[in-house]
Amino acid sequence: MNAVTPLASQLAEWVSEVQYDDLPADVIESTKLRILDVIGLALAGAETTFGRSTIAAARMLSPAGPSRIFGTGDAVAAPTAAFTNAALSQALEYDDTHNESIVHMSSPAVAAALARRGLPLIRLAAPTTPADRLAALARGAEGFVYLIARTGTTGAGAGTDARVAEQVAVIRANTDLPVVVGFGIGDPSAAERAARLADGVVVGSAFVERLGREGPAAAVAWMRTLRDALDALDAPASV
């Protein structure tokens, strides 16, 4: 009698061979939304009584590992992180359901995928974030803290150096993780001022706008002017 390969094994083999280019565009867009949904729900669920109990149990039961429990900074074994983050995302019962099978499909799948990769969850701190909440955000941060230099949309425009300095001080008092500053970094002077306060500088819209307006060579040359400005500092920052 020939052995029959279990359906689960067949499915796992098929999934392992799927490449990004094999995925339909609508599946890619839907998946992006589901990832954001699971992360947001997990962060909200962590504040519930169920969430706090789940996190406490994970801390007690799991050895240290490479994977993060969302919003805590705790590094635990990958299976524990996958279970905990999936549970947190279901705490409020807002996660999506596959109606045909009555299964919450995104929470376990996304949590397992992120736990496998050990990706840190980067939090953004706004200019309007109160000091007490900023301190709490810093204590639960992973990877690094991304401090927004100004209110409004991303793009070139000056932030308030004094306010940024005050917020960086609060963050540094509550975490040893690097602090990077972004939003409004549009020229070497702004990059230099931000780098004097933080460990890194994020440049997005200004680069993309120059790329579209002047082309790749000009955009890269412009980025070099920012890099040169940072390298001239006593302690160069990342860009």
The model's pLDDT over 148-205, given as tens digits with 9 standing for 90+, comes to 887 654 444 444 578 888 999 999 999 888 999 988 888 888 888 888 888 989 888 8
Antiparallel, parallel or unpaired: β 179-182 and 145-148? parallel
Collapsed DSSP state (helix, strand, coil) of residue 75 = strand
Determine the Cα–Cα distance for residues 31 and 76; give it in Å rounded to an integer.
Answer: 25
The model's pLDDT over 102-119, given as tens digits with 9 standing for 90+, comes to 667 788 888 888 887 766
Antiparallel, parallel or unpaired: β 64-68 and 75-76? antiparallel
Asked if residue 190 lies in contact with residue 184, where contact means CB atoms within 8 angstroms, the answer is: yes
Quickly list H helices, 118-236.
131-139, 161-172, 188-197, 205-214, 216-231
The model's pLDDT over 136-156, given as tens digits with 9 standing for 90+, comes to 888 877 788 999 887 654 444
Antiparallel, parallel or unpaired: β 145-148 and 123-125? parallel
Residue with tokens 């992973």: 142
Q: Which fold has domain 123-231?
A: TIM Barrel (3.20.20)
Asked if residue 132 lies in contact with residue 139, where contact means CB atoms within 8 angstroms, the answer is: no
Whether the CA torsion 43, 49, 73, 106 is positive or negative: it is: negative
Which residue intervals of the chain bear CATH 3.20.20.70?
123-231
Question: Nearest-CA neighbor of 227 among 179, 195, 181, 205?
Answer: 195
The model's pLDDT over 200-237, given as tens digits with 9 standing for 90+, comes to 898 888 888 888 888 888 888 999 999 898 888 875 55
